[in-house]
């Protein structure tokens, strides 16, 4: 196929006498104002600028055209590029006062789409807009200077090609105003393109009609593919041909299952390519955080000094899914290994041997990526998809049984690593953790080993939650020693209150596994009361003010059962839980109620009414919220606290339960619900009394003293308060 390398100047020195954009072609589009076109324009001008300011000349894509016998070229493909080159050369001639003899080529380019477009092209070849000292003098933009010239009718601006050219001229001036010897660099071949005549290609004018009948601009993906091909060609032409063929065939077939509503795979391809580019960055110890993820910017990252290595990784990372899809549906592959769970609905989670439970919204991590990577594909999903990718890339070396065990470890680590760990920000505590996480995943999936921090090769060794890593190491050894009990451990892990972290139950007493599951099939409120009857199972934040107990909401138990460096008393929770689990195989609400009734009867017989008694006896102490309470001074004033309606702070919905239990008056939202109002007075609860105060002056009106022994009530203060307040 004959082809020739041309510049905009020297193409007119051969057989081409004129270039005319025909009526059938669409308008010039690269100056339009849409976001997509702005990106295309910016990228194209950046590429041209680089060509004239560095030693890296640029070869644009092929220009195809129909050549008449009298030398008139009508472009079939390349109209947009040729028009931009025409405008760039026109600008360079203006800027550097190039003689008419040298710029005669500009007169040979025109549009035949509309009369206004044709006349404007002619106008540009004769217009003089530059003051040699001040560019275009008093005008802020080149387009404004042109519009001010005699011979520029206002009607031209209604022509979409003309208005688009004006925008492009302004963009060219903004970009190239400081480039010296611009015309000389253009004439010297800094920017060139390949030209092919359709007749030389053995094609007819019918192809011209067919290719232009669609009347649609190229999509971002088509631009991306063209740029991708250009960069691949520069690396290795044979490699480029192979990769582009796969994109158009095997990889398209792979993504077809996940096509969009327009039956396109474009976004799916770009989404997975984005994922791979992020992985490449992470494996270099870098992060995509706050970097542009525009596909064309990704190409610049991808084609770095390791371009060949990156291409090889990309090819293998697509091909492994193709190989899988040839054997079974990808969705079936995931369905056989992953099931969706819930952290709020205890009826959803169902343990299945050989499968993990994910709390993400899609169990098909690959499909989720290609459908929504740029929308809500979290860092946790990135790590999980990477784990599956590593398995597929090494499938011949890893048995299916080993993988199912190892992906459970990764899933537990991801599930129990919060935002503090699943962070790719260098500004966060302990920095970007994802590179070390991927290194950890690599080792787990390939060899089943969890690296110690000192063994991590990545510059920043911090990765998954340390508590969970320690637990997973213990479980690996435990399952090796107790293979007959491994499945019961996995079933416990899959309980939705635990989500993989079983430390509160522990490995020392596997006979507790099944009873725990049985216990939390019972009423959660009864469980909380029964546990408290056994002892103080609550946990307290390191600030010493916020206390966590169980409630009717699952989240309260999840908080209790997940060990954190920010919370104290985890071991106390574990001890009380063990007390209730010990010796019981199956729990029921009736069994728990008996524990509660026996406790209350014992306290009443002894006239010992500590805060625990009130908590268990009166439902108002146990709102259906987060199980959070605020004590200013628990050890000195155990009767002075408020229930919290929010996780971390007091609010207008908080209340002092010893006041609310009266069932009369109104709790004020002020002072976090610690005042009960009656007309002109309010009541507060102190550690050993109720105090009535004047609302206007805060003067004490009356006091109800509560009998105590060693700081513990010897009478039910709530019943006494109810009787007293009625007569107030």
Give the mean model confidence (pLDDT) for residues 703-715: 96
Contact of 365 with 382, CB cutoff 8 Å: no
- The helix/strand/coil state of 539 is strand
The label of the residue with tokens 């001890």 reads 575
Euclidean distance between CA atoms 250 and 243, whole angstroms: 10
Q: Please report which residue ranges of 359-399 form alpha helices under DSSP H.
A: 365-376, 379-393
Q: Which residues of 141-152 are buried (b: 16+ CB within 10 A; e: fewer)?
A: ebbebbbeeeeb
N residues, the chain: 728
Give the mean model confidence (pLDDT) for residues 85-111: 92
Element housing 18 (H / E)? strand 18-21
pLDDT digits (tens, 9 = 90+) for 368-395: 999 998 888 999 999 999 999 999 999 9
How many alpha carbons lie under 13 Å from residue 69 in its C-beta half-sphere? 0
pLDDT at 199: 63
pLDDT at 725: 84
Contact of 195 with 62, CB cutoff 8 Å: yes
Nearest-10 crossing angle of helices 466-481, 400-415: 150
Contact of 693 with 680, CB cutoff 8 Å: no
pLDDT digits (tens, 9 = 90+) for 621-672: 999 889 999 998 999 999 999 999 876 677 778 999 999 998 888 998 777 8
Euclidean distance between CA atoms 294 and 39, whole angstroms: 9
Structure tokens at 541: 């934040």
pLDDT at 208: 42
Contact of 275 with 420, CB cutoff 8 Å: no
Q: What mean pLDDT value characterizes the chain?
A: 91
Euclidean distance between CA atoms 635 and 654, whole angstroms: 21
Contact of 52 with 182, CB cutoff 8 Å: yes
pLDDT at 198: 65
pLDDT digits (tens, 9 = 90+) for 290-349: 998 988 889 989 999 999 999 999 999 999 999 999 999 999 999 999 999 998 888 888
Torsion of CA 505, 510, 515, 519, to 10 degrees: 10
DSSP class of 107: G
C-beta atoms surrounding 139 within 10 Å: 16
pLDDT at 375: 82
pLDDT at 376: 85
Euclidean distance between CA atoms 598 and 353, whole angstroms: 40
β-strands 191-197, 58-67: how paired?
A: parallel
Give the mean model confidence (pLDDT) for residues 566-572: 94
pLDDT digits (tens, 9 = 90+) for 435-459: 999 999 999 999 999 999 999 999 9
pLDDT band for 3, please (50, 70, 90 cuts): low
pLDDT at 265: 92
40 has pLDDT over 90:
no
**DSSP line for 118-145:** HHHHHHHHH----BTTTBTTT-SSHHHH
Euclidean distance between CA atoms 357 and 363, whole angstroms: 8
pLDDT band for 130, please (50, 70, 90 cuts): low
pLDDT digits (tens, 9 = 90+) for 521-543: 999 999 999 999 999 999 999 88
List strands edge to edge, sheet with 58-67. 4-6, 191-197, 58-67, 72-77, 18-21, 109-111
Q: What percent of the chain has pLDDT over 90?
A: 71
- The helix/strand/coil state of 681 is strand
pLDDT digits (tens, 9 = 90+) for 190-208: 999 888 776 654 444 444 4
pLDDT digits (tens, 9 = 90+) for 205-261: 444 444 444 444 456 787 788 889 989 999 999 999 999 999 999 999 999 999 988
């Amino acid at each position: 196929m004959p082809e020739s390398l041309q510049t905009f100047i020297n193409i007119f020195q051969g057989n081409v006498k004129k270039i005319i954009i025909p009526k059938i072609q669409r308008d010039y589009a690269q100056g339009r104002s849409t976001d997509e076109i702005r990106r295309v324009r910016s990228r194209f001008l950046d590429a041209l600028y680089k060509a004239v300011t560095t030693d890296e000349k640029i070869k644009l894509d092929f220009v195809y055209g129909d050549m008449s016998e009298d030398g008139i070229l009508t472009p079939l493909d390349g109209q947009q590029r040729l028009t931009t080159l025409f405008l760039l050369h026109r600008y360079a001639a203006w800027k550097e006062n190039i003689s008419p003899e040298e710029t005669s080529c500009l007169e040979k380019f025109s549009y035949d789409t509309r009369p206004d477009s044709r006349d404007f092209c002619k106008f540009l070849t004769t217009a003089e807009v530059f003051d040699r000292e001040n560019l275009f003098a008093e005008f802020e933009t080149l387009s404004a200077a042109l519009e001010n010239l005699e011979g520029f009718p206002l009607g031209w601006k209604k022509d979409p090609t003309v208005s688009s050219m004006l925008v492009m001229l302004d963009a060219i001036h903004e970009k190239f105003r400081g480039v010296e010897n611009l015309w000389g660099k253009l004439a010297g071949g800094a920017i060139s393109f390949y030209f092919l005549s359709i007749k030389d290609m053995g094609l007819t004018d019918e192809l011209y009609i067919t290719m232009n009948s669609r009347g649609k601009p190229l999509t971002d993906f088509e631009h991306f593919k063209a740029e991708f091909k250009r960069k691949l060609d520069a690396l290795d032409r044979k490699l480029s041909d192979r990769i582009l063929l796969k994109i158009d065939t095997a990889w398209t077939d792979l993504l077809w299952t996940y096509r969009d509503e327009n039956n396109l795979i474009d976004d799916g391809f770009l989404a997975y390519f984005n994922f791979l580019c992020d992985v490449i960055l992470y494996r270099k110890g870098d992060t995509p955080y706050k970097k542009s993820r525009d596909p064309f910017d990704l190409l610049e990252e991808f084609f770095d000094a390791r371009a060949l290595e990156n291409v090889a990784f990309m090819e293998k990372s697509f091909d492994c899914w193709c190989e899988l899809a040839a054997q079974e549906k990808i969705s079936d592959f995931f369905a056989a290994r992953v099931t969706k769970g819930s952290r709020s609905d205890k009826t959803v989670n169902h343990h299945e041997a050989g499968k993990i439970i994910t709390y993400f919204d899609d169990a098909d991590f690959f499909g989720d990526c290609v459908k929504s990577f740029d929308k809500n594909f979290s860092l946790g999903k990135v790590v999980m998809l990477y784990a599956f990718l590593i398995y597929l890339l090494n499938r011949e070396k890893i048995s299916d049984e080993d993988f199912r065990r190892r992906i459970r470890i990764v899933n537990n680590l991801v599930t129990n690593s919060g935002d503090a760990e699943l962070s790719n920000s260098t500004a966060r505590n302990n920095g970007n953790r994802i590179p070390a996480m991927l290194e950890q995943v690599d080792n787990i999936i390939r060899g089943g080993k969890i690296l110690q921090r000192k063994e991590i090769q990545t510059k920043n060794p911090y990765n998954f939650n340390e508590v969970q890593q320690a637990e997973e190491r213990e479980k690996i050894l435990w399952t090796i020693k107790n293979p007959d009990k491994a499945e019961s451990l996995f079933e416990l892990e899959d309980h939705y209150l635990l989500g993989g972290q079983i430390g509160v139950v522990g490995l020392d007493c596997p006979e507790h596994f099944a009873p725990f599951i049985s216990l939390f099939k019972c009423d959660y409120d009864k469980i909380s009361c029964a546990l408290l009857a056994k002892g103080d199972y609550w946990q307290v934040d390191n600030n010493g003010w916020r206390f966590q107990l169980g409630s009717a909401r699952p989240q309260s138990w999840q908080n209790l059962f997940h060990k954190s460096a920010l919370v104290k008393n985890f071991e106390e929770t574990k001890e009380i839980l063990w007390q209730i689990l010990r010796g019981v195989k199956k729990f029921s609400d009736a069994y728990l109620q008996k524990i509660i009734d026996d406790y209350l009867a014992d306290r009443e017989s002894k006239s010992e009414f500590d805060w625990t008694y009130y908590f268990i006896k009166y439902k108002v102490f146990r709102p259906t919220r987060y199980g959070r309470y605020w004590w200013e001074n628990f050890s000195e004033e155990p009767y002075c606290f408020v229930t919290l309606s929010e996780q971390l702070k007091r609010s207008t919905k908080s209340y002092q339960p010893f006041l609310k239990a009266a069932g009369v008056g109104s709790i004020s939202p002020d002072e976090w619900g610690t005042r009960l109002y009656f007309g002109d007075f309010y009541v507060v609860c102190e550690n050993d009394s109720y105090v009535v105060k004047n609302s206007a002056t805060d003067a004490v009106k009356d006091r109800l003293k509560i009998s105590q022994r060693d700081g513990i009530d010897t009478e039910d203060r709530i019943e006494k308060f109810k009787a007293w307040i009625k007569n107030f």
